[in-house]
Amino acid sequence: MNINIAIIEEPDEPVAARLRSELPGVTINAGTTEAEVLPFCAQANVIMGLAQSITPAMVSSAKGLQWIQALTTGVDPLKAMKELDPKIPITSARGIHGPQMSELAFLYMLHFARDYEQIQRDRAQKNWERRPQRLLMNKTVVIIGVGVISEDLARCCKAFGMRVIGVSARTSAPNFDAIYPRQRLKEAAALADFLIAIVPLTPETHGLVNGEILDAMPRHGIFINLARGPVADENAVIDRLQRKVIAGAALDVFNIEPLPQDSPLWDLPNVILTPHVGGKGESYVEQVMPLLTHNVRAFQQGRMQDFKNRVQR
């Protein structure tokens, strides 16, 4: 089968160049913006890119489109795209982001545990103050969503001596001390020094972390969202931070991205904001390449039933 792939890629993650070296003979055209990639879509039967970067115009231009490979775990923008024929398969990059997501979670947790912001203020003022230091050891982390990424995070948490509780339909997973069903999320949140959302966005998880869940957390608790913005009620998060119902939040995802300039989150002192970088990492191309080459070869040989990470629609 002749394959013509249009890729919209991140400037620092050159997927196309590596894919060309792995798959000689496959036509691969790439750019970093819709304007650059759009002309290639007319001849493409495959589109690749971050789910949020693949636009309706790109999909509409690809009259011969047969498959979309998302370079992200989440594919909700594609599932919601009315221009995309529901018969066209979507595959995701689920399962490859464990190391970078886990490290970002630890950046957040250590920042709050050690009050790193105060340390930087002391440094700026040349103030030598030996403040109390909280440890992660013996703290409880509650992870909403138990999958490949959460398993990697749980492993790292246990190495730090933390207690790990999951919230999932699953009943067991490596390195989890306990797993609660979703109906007991409020009960689990009450135990959380750190409450971390790593769950797909679905109708069932939309607004899952609401005011009631945040109110159940200890006052010293930290909420971390590495999932999708709408998994948490953003207004409820802002309100609980302003009233100090919880001690802080670390947010990598938001209802609207980029985060609007007038969002109160920018000015709250007890918040860490990162611009949806949870899945990024210097080794991303190496991590994703085995998945991409497997799926392209399966497509080339007419074995679409052998796709890895095929999304249920």
Residues with a catalytic annotation lie at 228, 257, 276
| CB of 101 closer than 8 Å to CB of 198 | yes
Among residues 243, 195, 178, 232, which one has the least CA distance to residue 210?
Answer: 232
CA pair distance 302, 225, nearest whole angstrom: 39
Among residues 183, 145, 182, 138, which one has the least CA distance to residue 161?
Answer: 138
Q: Which two tokens stand for residue 170?
A: 């699953």
| CB of 165 closer than 8 Å to CB of 178 | yes
CA pair distance 139, 214, nearest whole angstrom: 18
Phi-psi region of 17 (alpha: psi -120 to 50; beta: other; left: phi over 0): alpha
30 pairs with which residues across the strands? 7
CA pair distance 166, 180, nearest whole angstrom: 6
